[in-house]
Amino acid sequence: MAKSDYMPNQDEGKASLFVLFRDNIGAQLATLGIPAADPDIIQQAADASRFRGIVDFCGNMQNAAQSWTAEKNYERDGGDTAPAGQVVPALPAGFPAAVPAGIVTRFRALVKRVKAAKNYSAAIGQALGIEGSVQGAPDLTTLQAILTLTLMGNAVLVGWGWQGFSAFLDMLELQVDRGDGKGFVFLTYDTTPNYTDTAPLPATLAKWKYRAIYRVGDAQVGAWSNEVGITVGG
């Protein structure tokens, strides 16, 4: 039976997984036939420390931003009581060193290598947090993609995901209606969540609409997503 992806959706979960793997892989290396000095193992330890630190620091920054918003509003509008003193977090001494971009990509590659080791077992995977839970197949007649839209500079980011069913689906078919009288037309087949539409934005304001449907092999499955729109151009 298919299993769900072991990789958590949220960054907090990813950070916890990387640390769990880092702290437990040492006891499994001999069984897996991987030396402790293996460059991938050393890199993963650095990745785990760095990403854990960045996620925690990001949370502190978000909290600080909320505090500074209160201070800004007070200084702008006045009032009887000033907000509590502001504390802007700084990188603490000994903060994990920067690592090359691509932590998740490297981690997935290392997990693939670990799972291919001769003596790998589900028990080892569970200890390392890399065994997804057993997952029942979705109802492919009703499954519906969920889209979000964000304007990023001169491109539209179309957010989408597998909803936990990547083991049962092959790709997403995405269509767009650019308000030019052509209606919905094919945009792309995407196999990696989130798609950046880099088509040139119009010179005047227009509303672009998107919809999508999952595919298995050559066939569409489930229902079309709800149509979502975004104003672009101008």
Chain segment 152-200, per-residue pLDDT in tens: 888 999 999 998 888 889 999 999 999 999 999 999 999 989 999 999 9
Above 90 in pLDDT, residue 138?
Answer: no
Does this model's pTM top 0.85?
Answer: no
Give residue limits of the domains in the chain. 11-128, 148-232
> What is the CATH T-level fold of the domain 148-232, as seen in this structure?
Immunoglobulin-like (2.60.40)
What pLDDT digit, counting tens, does each position of 5-27 carry?
888 888 999 999 999 999 999 99
Average pLDDT over all residues of the chain: 90
Pick from 131, 164, 124, 134: which is nearest to 146 by CA? 164
Nearest partner of 26 among 14, 17, 38, judged by Cα: 38
CA distances from 226 to 122, 140, 222 (A): 39, 17, 12
